[in-house]
Amino acid sequence: LPYVPHVAPTALLGKVTATTFALERPRCVFDDHADASDAVWLAVAFANASATFRNPRCRADVPPYKQLPTARFYMTLETAAAAYSCSSLSPSVLRVGGDTACRDQGRQDPCNGPLPSPGPYRVKFLLMGCRGPKAETRWSEPILLRRAVSPGTIDPAPTRRGSDVVVIASILASLGAALATAVLGALGAKVWGFLHHQDLGTDAFTRRSYRTHHIPPALPQPLSPGCGCSPPGLCHSA
């Protein structure tokens, strides 16, 4: 078949990681070749080993995931052909390498385990019936996974700033300090003048010739209802 598998073109979180990649699910590709009992498989191979891959004659000959390090290829994602039809409502993306439990499985069942290295890899879809392969797509272009960053290559020291940046920062800090000093000085002069004026008014009042009656100091006035804090134990109901 002329279809060429490829990584999903849409923006996806983790579309390509160090152990997985998101593959676009082909639709309407096998409709003219598939029966209700057929299944579609995905063959995964290292790019330099795809030429040596041979389609299995039956399900029992399907190369399992655990043989990838030695055989350099395997088959996975066995799915009913109906999931690839034009009318299917199946998700449009297939996650290759997404089953982390495969590392601990000793069974021979097909498994979609994490890919062990950056690759690159090639993939193709294979339609299989009861009598063996019936149709297949072309191999994809090489798919290279992300490389994990070694902790030893991470620089723990912060990035040093250039000398120009340090000079500019120093000048700005000096200007800021000078401006703050000027503002505080002006504010202090205004407050001192206000207090001096108050003192002059008090002296003038004390030199009056008449004497007033004794006025007791003012007592604190009770707060009006609803002002201030409520008695203890009543705040929780507010």
The pLDDT score that the predictor gives to residue 101 is 85
The pLDDT score that the predictor gives to residue 100 is 87
- For residue 44, count other CB atoms closer than 10 A to its CB: 28
The pLDDT score that the predictor gives to residue 102 is 80
What is the distance between the alpha carbons of residues 182 and 175, in angstroms, rounded to a whole number? Answer: 11
Tokens 């002059």 correspond to: 200
Question: For residue 86, which of 26, 14, 20, 154 has the smallest C-alpha distance?
Answer: 26
Q: Which amino acid is at 2?
A: P
CA dihedral angle for residue 54, residue 99, residue 146, residue 125, rounded to 10 degrees: 30
Tokens 């057929």 correspond to: 38
End-to-end CA separation in angstroms for the chain: 73
The answer to whether 123 and 141 are in contact (CB under 8 A) is no
The pLDDT score that the predictor gives to residue 11 is 84
The answer to whether 134 and 126 are in contact (CB under 8 A) is no
**Beta pairing partners, 136:** 126
Provide the whole-model pTM.
0.62
The answer to whether 65 and 74 are in contact (CB under 8 A) is yes
Give the model confidence (pLDDT) of 103-132 as tens digits.
665 555 789 999 999 999 999 999 999 889
Mean pLDDT per block of 10 residues along the chain (238 residues) reads: 94 91 94 92 96 93 92 95 92 92 67 94 96 95 85 53 59 67 66 54 43 37 39 42
Give the model confidence (pLDDT) of 124-173 as tens digits.
999 999 889 999 999 999 999 998 665 555 555 544 545 565 557 666 66
What is the distance between the alpha carbons of residues 35 and 89, in angstroms, rounded to a whole number? Answer: 18
